[in-house]
Amino acid sequence: MRARLILENGTVFHGRAFGYLKETVGEVVFNTGMTGYQEVLTDPSYYGQIVTMTYPLIGNYGINLDDMQSKGAKVRGFIVREKCDDPSNWRCEFELDTYLKENRILGLEDIDTRALTKIIRNYGTMKGIITLRDLTDSQIKLQLDGFNNNSAVKEVTTKEVQVEDGDGLHIAMMDFGIKQNIIDSFKSRGCKLTIFPADAKAEEVLAVEPDGVFLSNGPGDPKDIPGSIEEIKKIVGKKPITGICLGHQLLALALGGNTEKLKFGHRGANHPVKDMKTGKIMITSQNHGYVVTDEGLPKDVSVTHINMNDNTIEGMRHNKYKIYSIQFHPEACPGPYDTDGIFDEFIDTMNDQGGKLDA
């Protein structure tokens, strides 16, 4: 069935629909990963977004039930140059088209994804509609104006407290849209996890007497959840705090810093990041549209990592409190694994009780 992508700036791409055949609207972004499309589809950080894969052939190793990063697909739409209808892999359980149908996600193929990516790079991320019908200008405007992603975290966070048993450190997690592999990375290190909804109060989190608090990844603008920022402020100095992606941004805001939206974001598995302490360059997996800014960063906070493409902040550590957070994804499912040791650094940060560094 023929379908069209209509961008906010008026550009139209014609292609073929697949998956669940129902019109969709969202923020159009691109991901440069050559693999990992299943992890992209199920990553809660993509909630509200129509994701374009820049690699030309997607679906060639199918879909399996072991690599899901959440319960079901979270994207609003999925765009590829060409989908593979005959996947070949020993772990394959079904193909991409079937998975999108079952998860009610509309796909679009046979468009020039290179041209679309260049538009996003030149003009920035923008809203878009994938439609199977002809729309009038007023209908397009109504749909685009009616879309926002302000409540994304509320839609993807856990609805109730969950506990994952372990014999090691007890970590309280604030779930803003956590990926399964982050949970698995802590569990593989023996940690006990108590996972709280995003709107949990600081008193609830501290009441379980954790060794440390972890702030997860998640979708959207960190400034859309001011309530969570206020609760994080109440934990600062009382317990060690670590965070990834959105959690890193929320922590910066809680410390008095600031965040801003990137022109087209960092999304892919090939982003070079420099460790400022060792000088080592690591290839990282990333998925974010906002970053912590240099301006307003508290004087007690040191930058630990920077992005080698645009020099944006990729990590920070507090010089007074036991606080350490990063922008990229060390769990990196499906890879690369250059930064897996970050989880050991998180655990080292939490190992000693108390939220302040020793004098």
303-338 pLDDT tens trace: 999 999 999 999 999 999 999 999 999 987 777 888
Does the annotation mark 23 as catalytic?
no
Beta strands in 66-169 (DSSP E): 77-79, 82-83, 106-109, 126-131, 162-164
User: Using CA atoms, how far apart are residues 104 and 194, in angstroms rounded to an integer?
Assistant: 31
Does the annotation mark 329 as catalytic?
yes
Annotated ligand binding at 218? The verdict is yes
Q: What is the pTM of this model?
A: 0.95
Question: Among residues 288, 305, 318, 329, which one is catalytic?
Answer: 329
pLDDT at 359 over 60: no
Annotated ligand binding at 270? The verdict is no
Question: Among residues 231, 245, 288, 318, which one is catalytic?
Answer: 245
CA–CA distance from 52 to each of 40, 55, 63, 109 (Å)? 10, 9, 18, 10
Annotated ligand binding at 220? The verdict is yes
User: Using CA atoms, how far apart are residues 19 and 77, in angstroms rounded to an integer?
Assistant: 9
Per DSSP bridges, beta strands 82-83 and 126-131 are: unpaired
Mean pLDDT rounded to a whole number for the chain: 95
Annotated ligand binding at 36? The verdict is no
| 74 sits in which H/E element | none
Burial of 76: CB neighbours in 10 Å, binned 0-12, 13-18, 19+? buried
pLDDT 10s digits, 151-162: 999 999 999 999
Annotated ligand binding at 139? The verdict is no
Question: Among residues 8, 27, 231, 331, which one is catalytic?
Answer: 331
pLDDT at 285 over 60: yes
Query: Cα–Cα–Cα angle for 104, 108, 109, nearest 5°?
Result: 135
* 3-class SS of residue 355: coil
Residue 68 CB-half CA count within 13 A:
11
Does the annotation mark 266 as catalytic?
no
Q: Mean pLDDT, to the nearest integer, of 24-36?
A: 96
DSSP class of residue 328 equals: S
Annotated ligand binding at 355? The verdict is no
Cis, bond preceding 334 (omega within 30 deg of 0): yes
User: Using CA atoms, how far apart are residues 358 and 352, in angstroms rounded to an integer?
Assistant: 10
